[in-house]
Amino acid sequence: MKWLELVQVAGATLVAAVVLVVLYSLGVRLTAIAGDARQKSPGLIRSFAYLCFIACGIAVLFGIYLIVPYFTK
């Protein structure tokens, strides 16, 4: 068995999972902050939240692209 490849896949999976969780959590947090009435520029904060959600969605779609063999042929 090729152990180095196994470690590389496990590491890439761990990094990807952490990045997705951080992006989604940051998007949720920024959405909550933008909803606060005391903020001076909620539109800018909400835009950053939506950018986090979009980046999370792109990462998920890229993962699906890598997994499904139909797309890589």
pLDDT per residue as tens digits for the range 41-60: 888 999 999 999 999 999 99
Calculate what percentage of the chain has a pLDDT beyond 70.
Answer: 99
Task: Tell me if 2 is assigned to some domain.
Answer: no
Residue 10: CA count within 13 A, CB half-sphere: 6
Task: Tell me if 10 is assigned to some domain.
Answer: no
Note the pLDDT of residue 40. Answer: 79
In whole angstroms, what is the distance from residue 30 CA to residue 71 CA?
A: 34
In whole angstroms, what is the distance from residue 73 CA to residue 63 CA?
A: 15
Q: Is the pLDDT of residue 13 over 90?
A: yes
Task: Tell me if 6 is assigned to some domain.
Answer: no
Total domains present in the chain: 1
Task: Tell me if 25 is assigned to some domain.
Answer: yes
Query: 32 lies in which domain range?
Result: 15-72
Task: Tell me if 35 is assigned to some domain.
Answer: yes
The Cα angle at residue 56 between residues 32 and 3, in degrees rounded to 5: 130
Task: Tell me if 45 is assigned to some domain.
Answer: yes
